[in-house]
Amino acid sequence: MRAHMKTLLALFAGLLLTATTHAAADTRCFEMRVYYAAEGKLDALHKRFRDHTCKLFEKHGMTNLGYFVPIGDNPERKLIYFLAYPSLDARNAAWKAFMADPDWQKAYKASEVDGKLVAKIESVYLGATDYSPLAKAENVGNRVFELRTYTTEPGRLPNLNARFRDHTLKLFAKHGITNLPYWTPLADQKGAVNPPDKDNTLIYLLAHASQDAAKTSFGNFGKDADWQAARKASEEKAGGSLTTKGGVKSVFLVPTDYSAVK
């Protein structure tokens, strides 16, 4: 009888975990946009977002997540930000309404009296991985962020996702690294501007207490025997490295004063 009860409890726990995981799945469409401000115009671009753009995005059903600039030197005058939408169709409808909004047209015209604010734009449509923490506009306080982009060898993105799902996230947390959203590009990138390879790209965000803390955490992570075993096993299964040579890119970011995520 006791063994039977244990079996039933284990089955119930498994069903509950499955239901919870399913309920937590994030099916929204996300977009990462990178703006390269014209020379001398980054402050004016921030002002337009602070005073007008963010509010108008929300008016048209877009969710403002994080707005960031690289820590330290920013010679390309980058602004990197993330939006969320109920779906890709909702995204396209929201942007159409936003662009036609008289308040946006007025703010845009007034801000560019002395010249264009943006020299170049890049964008990519993203979907959350099945192991991604929920993306939310959360203000935790004083911390730095790290944007990491991985390019895999052809066909090895599923292997990379499996390694993150089964090992990497837990080991990051073990070493004091805060996991934020993990995304892969959506299959449909129509309208995106110079998006990365949709079949071989993983993009994710981490948070750290500081850049020094990040260095210490990654140093300990790299020496962790569990990580070394997971990496070795995943590469043996895939038949080689999961990422291309030079295929791991990292940039440390600081949130702007108007960013919802801090």
Q: What is the pLDDT of residue 119?
A: 98
Structure tokens belonging to residue 211: 């850049």
Bridge-partner residues for 68, per DSSP?
A: 80, 255
pLDDT digits (tens, 9 = 90+) for 31-88: 999 999 999 999 999 999 999 999 999 999 999 999 999 999 999 999 999 999 999 9
**How far does CA 50 lie from the centroid of its chain?**
21
Q: What are phi and psi of 103, to 5 degrees?
A: -65, -40
Q: What is the pTM of this model?
A: 0.89
Q: What is the pLDDT of residue 26?
A: 93
